[in-house]
């Protein structure tokens, strides 16, 4: 089992109407691996993450998480799709940190973090509170447990969102450009938390435009374009010595913007 990838994606395709967004994606992610996904806007990066936890239903292909094919009832010859209610158990194992924080504005930071553990994991109030405080401390917000989202900076709100995911103790965490909605001076505090999670050996898939960060923390980087994986490998190889011309052009533009 130690050699079995946590995530296995086979021939995954997704179209919206007649427009193909993902085209034949094959990908494996090992347990404890931090994988960063880079590429231009519209390349299918976000759609890939949304298909993994079935926020978007794939047009074709298979997605396996920890040896279980998600979205389909096991052993059913007709391969019936699971309902949203049936998918909830699988989604509980997959954390998703969105571009926007999606916090409940009427709940304080602690209540935002403990809501899902209480409703989905069926934790008691005291146990959920203890876990929530622990997760907020972990992301550096132990002093903000009673604050409401409107009184938190964007970076703090995103860290609450990360704490909310961690409280569910997921097997896999998906990050969809988690710093793209932040002011530049707030980006670092979120990346710092993500860096610590990578160091802990969390299994993470990160869609990001922060190429330097991807190079620093990732075990592997993939470059996507037009719904396909164009290049994949060790960060130093992909980011510094790309073999594909499309990858080189993309990284050149990123470097020009940062100068």
Whether 143 and 100 have beta carbons less than 8 Å apart is answered as no
* Span 165-209, pLDDT tens digits: 999 999 999 999 999 989 888 999 999 999 999 999 999 999 999
**pLDDT of the residue at 73:** 67
Tokens describing residue 5: 């990838």
pLDDT average, residue stretch 7-13: 97
pLDDT average, residue stretch 254-258: 73
pLDDT > 90? residue 24: yes
pLDDT > 70? residue 130: yes
Using alpha carbons only, give the angle 244, 245, 251 rounded to the nearest 5 degrees. 95
For residues 129, 132, 133, 139, the Cα torsion angle rounded to the nearest 10 degrees is: 180
Residues in Cβ contact with 36 at an 8 Å cutoff, skipping those fewer than 6 apart? 206, 207, 208, 213, 214, 217, 218, 220, 221, 222, 235
**pLDDT of the residue at 1:** 42
What is d(CA 246, CA 117) in angstroms, rounded to the nearest whole number? 43
What is d(CA 43, CA 52) in angstroms, rounded to the nearest whole number? 16
pLDDT > 80? residue 47: yes
What is d(CA 117, CA 115) in angstroms, rounded to the nearest whole number? 6
For the chain, the average pLDDT equals 91
Residues in Cβ contact with 204 at an 8 Å cutoff, skipping those fewer than 6 apart? 33, 34, 35, 172, 173, 174, 175, 194, 197, 198
* Span 131-141, pLDDT tens digits: 999 999 999 99
pLDDT > 80? residue 89: no
In degrees rounded to 5, what are phi and psi of residue 43? -85, -5
- Other CB atoms within a 10 A radius of the CB of residue 83 amount to 9
**pTM for this prediction:** 0.92
DSSP one-letter string for 144-160: GTT--GGGS-HHHHHHH
């Amino acid at each position: 089992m130690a050699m079995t990838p946590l995530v296995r994606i086979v021939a995954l395709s997704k179209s919206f109407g007649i427009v193909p967004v993902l085209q034949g994606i094959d990908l494996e992610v090992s347990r404890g691996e931090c994988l960063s996904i880079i590429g231009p806007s519209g390349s299918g990066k976000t759609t890939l993450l949304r298909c993994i936890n079935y926020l978007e239903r794939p047009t074709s292909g298979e997605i396996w998480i920890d040896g279980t094919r998600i979205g389909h009832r096991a052993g059913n010859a007709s391969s019936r799709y699971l309902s949203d209610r049936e998918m909830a158990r699988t989604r509980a194992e997959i954390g998703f940190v969105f571009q926007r924080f999606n916090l409940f504005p009427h709940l304080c930071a602690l209540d935002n973090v403990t809501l899902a553990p209480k409703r989905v994991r069926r934790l008691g109030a005291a146990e959920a509170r203890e876990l929530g405080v622990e997760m907020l401390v972990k992301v550096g917000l132990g002093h903000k447990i009673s604050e409401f989202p409107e009184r938190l900076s964007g970076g703090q709100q995103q860290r609450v969102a990360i704490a909310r995911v961690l409280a569910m103790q997921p097997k896999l965490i998906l990050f969809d450009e988690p710093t793209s909605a932040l002011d530049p001076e707030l980006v670092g505090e979120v990346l710092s938390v993500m860096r610590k999670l990578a160091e802990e050996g969390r299994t993470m898939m990160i869609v990001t435009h922060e190429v330097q960060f991807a190079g620093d923390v990732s075990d592997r980087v993939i470059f996507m374009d037009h719904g396909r994986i164009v290049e994949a490998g060790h960060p130093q190889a992909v980011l510094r010595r790309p073999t594909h011309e499309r990858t080189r052009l993309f990284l050149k533009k990123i470097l020009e913007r940062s100068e």
